[in-house]
Amino acid sequence: MRLPIAKFKVLLYGPGIPSGGIKARAHFEASVLVVQGKGHWFTVHGESLSLKTGGYDGRQWLLCWDTPAGPASLILQGNDAVELFIKLAPPEIAKKLKRAHSSHAGKAGLRRFWGVLFILLILLLILFLFDQLTV
């Protein structure tokens, strides 16, 4: 009995694809990523993949690769999808993607920390100024 191949719902961007992207499905067959969308089909060797953040607000996870016609990418729907994608990727590809994911996730956590600290300092400053005005 053969287990079904896990497929991921993604948004696909690249040469010849509308700028808003198209819905597609992606899965691994051995060390090759297969991406299929309406009228578009890509096979990408795993070592050609890179993972980064991007999208309209810079918080989406993009899996990117180069094609002869130009760069292509797909957006994984949320952090949980990225983690599952990495878990189900072939080991040599998973290791590379996990390093990239950890690196970006750590930077996002640090930005969030500094943002919260900045807001707290502003609130303390407001409270201090309000206290000085009421004395």
Give the CATH number for residue 84.
2.30.29
pTM: 0.63
Residue 71: predicted pLDDT: 94
Residue 39: count other Cβ atoms within 10 Å of its Cβ: 8
Res 103: pLDDT: 64
DSSP 6: P
Structural domain contains residue 1: no
CA–CA gap between residue 5 and residue 7 (Å, rounded): 6
Q: What is the model's pLDDT at position 95?
A: 77
Q: Residue 2: inside a domain, yes or no?
A: no
Q: Which residue has the tokens 């690196």?
A: 103
pLDDT of residue 65: 92
Q: With the C-alpha atoms ordered 20, 24, 28, 31, is the resulting torsion angle positive or negative?
A: negative
pLDDT confidence of residue 12: 93
User: Structural domain tally of the chain?
Assistant: 1
Q: Which positions of the chain have pLDDT values less than 50?
A: none
Mutual orientation of helices 91-134 and 79-88 as an angle, nearest 10°?
A: 160
Residue 116 falls inside a structural domain: yes
Nearest by Cα to 62 from 30, 36, 97, 28? 97
